[in-house]
Structure 1
Amino acid sequence: MTDTVSFGYEDVAPTEKTARVGGVFTSVASSYDLMNDAMSGGMHRLWKDRFVRRVKPRGHEQILDMAGGTGDIAFRMAVSGAAITVADINPAMLEVGMERAQKRGIDGLVWTEANAESLTFPDRFFDAYTIAFGIRNVTDIPAALKEAHRVLRRGGRFFCLEFSTVTWPGFADVYDAYSHKLVPKLGQLLARDADSYRYLIESIRRFPDMPKFQQMIGDAGFVNTSVEPIMGGLVAIHSGWRI
């Protein structure tokens, strides 16, 4: 791991990034879903539906949903009957998810505070590992990918949904202007927090592009890696298998 890592457009010490990212998500936890709707025009719901269809959870499986604090992915997978562990480094996000699960009458999920870079789960424990819109906020992404590989059984599958680099001509410029100028204003209006949403947009810009991140997944030991761009790479579903 390098001496500095990106926190938005800043380069900071790894320990500082971990602390500051924690502060961001503690700040936005209560308004996170509202802001997701506002920023994406509700499209994030369709992306998550598509993501879970790719995962194909099954009733006999153990699945780890990392950085899944608010429960969006876990709730979608729960109908399969799979045993799902929802892990997040941020207790405020987990609290929101547990409250939402209670209101929806969704039982049986395991909620645990965990750091993606140093999981306490045993080797080869899970059949699938999912992470949606969380990997770019991890301080040491290669370490997190190696941990994902470690906790998966042979034949286990890794799926990641994340914002990426728009490749459609014209749309990239429109999206860039929208995200940098409007999203922080929406954050101030709806969450009283422009700075946290400014960071979230900047973190997207600093995240590796699709080929680079696919290579990182392969470097962690996964095989048959693939990437599925959505809306020209606005978001992408990355996947890989452990053998």
Structure 2
Amino acid sequence: MQLGNGWKPAVAPAARLDVLRVGLGAGLGLVLAAALVQLALWAGWQGSWALFAPLGATAVLVFAVHTGPLSQPWSCVVGNTVAALWALLVVRWWPQQALGWLLPAVAVGGAIAWMQITRALHPPGGAVALLLALEAQHGVLHGWSYAFAPIGLLTLVLVLLGVAYHRAWGKHYPLQPAAPAAAAKAQHLPSDDLSQADLQALLARFDQDYNLTAQELGQLVRAAEEQAIARRFGSVRCGQVMSARLWTCGPQDGLGQLAA
């Protein structure tokens, strides 16, 4: 039996500094979230204050894949919150006696749909919905506020730390709009003629809508073209393209003479 390429490692090997940076950032994020939970418990705040497992998956995206569309603050905070609200709604109204075994599937499927509708698709949101459905099957029920605190609030705390942490390392998070291109360019690149709609259509064509933004694709295309140009002409010397005989014209020469 031969395994396809999908069974081979698809993630590029990480540099040692990146391993340290990502691991340390995720650890600090969970430390801050845990500290907030302890503060809530000591202060007697209302609600079931505790860390929830999908927050660890959010930490992976925020600190290790911070350039991805699914890792941006809106997707993280709104995605987890919307998924929790949907799961709580399903838990409250779903017939537990007859169809209780379908509860997790309905919770996760609906959560994904609502995250897409709100343009806040976030993989850990599916885990949030599944967690709440499984807890309900074991008799653990939460109120509506649970979707906002701790789920929404702890996600927001993690994201805000991610913003500060990445900037401290010289990284960009969240994604920033691309700077306007300079008016004059040494080399005109074909990708400059691609509109946002063109780039978005390419992403849809290759089923990469949720892995790259149109801005990132445009940057990749331009970088690839620049690299190709550099490789193609990097070894060319002026003597290879210069001619010994000079062709000149004067201000009084006619266009016919110039064309000839």
- On whether the aligned pair clears a TM of 0.5, the verdict is no
| TM-score, scaled to structure 1 | 0.24
| TM-score, scaled to structure 2 | 0.23
State which structure, 1 or 2, has the greater radius of gyration over its C-alpha atoms.
Answer: 2
Give the structure with the larger helix fraction: 2
Give the structure with the larger strand fraction: 1
